[in-house]
Chains A and B, each alone.
Chain A
Amino acid sequence: MSLKILTEHCSTPGIETFEVYRKKGGYAAVEKAVKKMTPDEVVDEVKKSGVRGRGGAGFPMGMKWSFLAKPEGVPRYLVCNADESEPGTFKDHYLMKTIPHLLIEGMIISSYALGANKSFIYVRGELMYVIHILEKAIEEAKAAGFLGKNILGSGYDLELIIQPGGGAYICGEETALLESLEGKRGNPRNKPPFPAVKGLYQSPTVVNNVESIATVSWIINNGGEAYAAVGVGKSTGTKLISASGHINKPGVYEIELGLSCDEFLNSDEYCGGVRTGHRLKAVVAGGSSVPIVPGALFLKNANGEDRLMSYESLSDGGFVSGTMLGSGGFIAFDETACIVRNTWNFSRFYEHESCGQCSPCREGTGWMQKVLNRIEHGKGSMSDIDLLVDVSKKIEGNTICPLGDAAAWPVASAIRHFRDEFEWHIQHPLEATKAGAVYMGAVLV
């Protein structure tokens, strides 16, 4: 059994209550931080841990914290990004509804470290029932003296506010999230200035993912070095993986980074293998935005070496043969899945979610969706394939925020690895459009 930093107590009955969470050692890290450590010492421990942003970008969290501007007399803000919307990702949803105090405790320590007296948790509006769970947890923490004025007699004040979103994937992008939190449309901002200098209400702001903040209590209790000792290389600690698609045991799993992809997919501790009676065709390893790869390239890299669940190993081979850990949204496809249909589905998603600010994304996502739609429905031509590649290249890197890249990569990678399946759809439209028809030439594992 591997180390469980976040989920150790998730199956304890009543863990959503303050009482049970406290009995299991909860809030000890708040006591330690506000009574025995300076804010800078907390930042140092997080830096030492090497923990990287768990929302998808993987930027070192301690470094992000250290960029926060600290001008005199200007409030600073911590905003937790709980707008989890990346297709294939549902770990934050699971963590917040199961063990809400883990996030609240992390928010208190992190806010203390950053010198924030008012912090926000921006939760996607669809998760209103989770918002109620978090609000109850906040009330309990406040009643016990861990939130509000003069926390545990330390002189430190913190108010924690839960903000609901309104239904928009783009608000998971941190500057769009800040716009939304200010009561506006979720249009991403140009950077610079970065939120660390001008964020919420033009004040210095740190935005961190739920899972990132949830690690902080363990790091304070056990030390940054202990955290860094877990994992492999620059992929330190553990990661929550949301596993969905054609596997025997979909769900949220905490893995030590560096676990072999084969073990993650096939062991009964995790996914329990591809659906019984089926074989693996493709994998999206880190949420819908990362490149899709054939099953074989998920399990082993282009040199035939075992692939590991880590930032570095999954991206080994770049976009030619690798992918990314991203948000940890693992989606498995067996031989019954149609790659063209799935690619069209994802492109439809990005067209719907593009905020419309940048022309390459606003127009390009719609264009890709239409071309993929006609290929899927037997009306494509061979030149459409190169047209898709061309459009995806014109979006990539040409937009204010990464949604453009996120929309381009799934299309480009699907064509890179499954071009023959696209060609089959175009050359055999009658066959390809029959109900349940699937290209039979794919290499399975």
Chain B
Amino acid sequence: MTEMKKKLQFSSVVLEKVTEIIARYPEGKQKSALLPILHIAQEEFAWLSQDVMDYVASLLQIMPVEVYEVASFYTMYHLEPVGKHVIEYCRTGPCVLMGGEEVFDHLQQKLGIKKGETTSDGLFTLKEVECLAACGWGPCFQIREKYYMHLNNQKVNEIIEELSK
């Protein structure tokens, strides 16, 4: 237990960043920092377990439920463990027009998993998401901050092979 609590601390560098973010908002409005800090927490801990969310609540001096209800509302926050690379694949109309469904089928085959699943080696999680605002450059998916655009089967193979190294 003590061990776990220790793990659930931001490093001093990250804590400095968190403090700086909280200071951006007017006094008493520190809850505004919740979404940015959840992004940071996810970067640090890979996904938002209840312990992580409780820790964020303590930093912002808000109730844990205020964190849970927000984390579960927004699609970018992972509430379950995820693989090393989370592929967030756009399933919306304009990407579909450019062959997005066929490429998605191929991606599932290539990874040997279905949407929502993680590969057995823990390398990839495949999530379907809605419009990523890249409609003219589709089909597309995103892995963390990087957009992969103009996808086709061959490109998908190359990306997966590169990330599997």
Contacts and interface: CB of A to CB of B under 8 A. Distances in A.
A242 B135 CA distance: 8
A320 interface: no
Interface in B68-123: 69-70, 73-77, 88, 91-94, 96-98
Contacts of B70: 166, 183-185
Given A183-B33, A244-B94, A164 B39 contact: yes
B75 A84 contact: no
Interface string A53-89: 0000000000000000000000100000000111111
A288 B77 contact: no
Nearest to B70: A185
A169 interface: yes
B135 A244 contact: yes
B110 to A, nearest CB: 20
Given A87-B131, A333-B97, A182 B136 contact: no
Given A87-B94, A88-B94, A349-B93, A163 B36 contact: yes
B130 interface: yes
Interface in B30-55: 31-36, 38-39
Given A90-B134, A168-B75, A244-B138, A180 B35 contact: yes
B36 to A, nearest CB: 6
B74 to A, nearest CB: 3
Nearest to A92: B133
B134 A93 contact: yes
A251 interface: yes
Contact of A90 (B38, B91, B135): B135
B9 interface: no
Interface stretch (B10-18, B140-148, B156-164): B140-148
B73 A166 contact: yes
Contacts of B31: 182-184
B36 A164 contact: yes
A84 B29 CA distance: 25
Interface centre among B70, B76, B94 (most CB of A within 10 A): B94
A201 B26 contact: yes
Contacts of A124: 133
A201 B137 CA distance: 38
Interface in A354-387: 355
Contacts of B32: 163, 181-183
Nearest to A353: B130
Contacts of B34: 183
Contacts of B59: none
Contact of B77 (A86, A159, A166): A166
Going nearest first, the 4 A-B pairs with the smallest beta carbon separation are: A166-B74, A167-B76, A250-B136, A183-B34
Given A128-B144, A183-B35, A184-B66, 4 more contacts: A88-B131, A168-B75, A183-B34, A245-B135
30 contacts: A75-B26, A86-B131, A88-B131, A89-B133, A90-B136, A92-B133, A126-B142, A127-B133, A128-B39, A161-B24, A163-B35, A164-B36, A166-B70, A168-B73, A168-B74, A169-B130, A181-B32, A183-B34, A183-B60, A183-B70, A184-B69, A185-B69, A201-B26, A242-B135, A244-B94, A244-B98, A245-B98, A246-B97, A345-B93, A353-B130
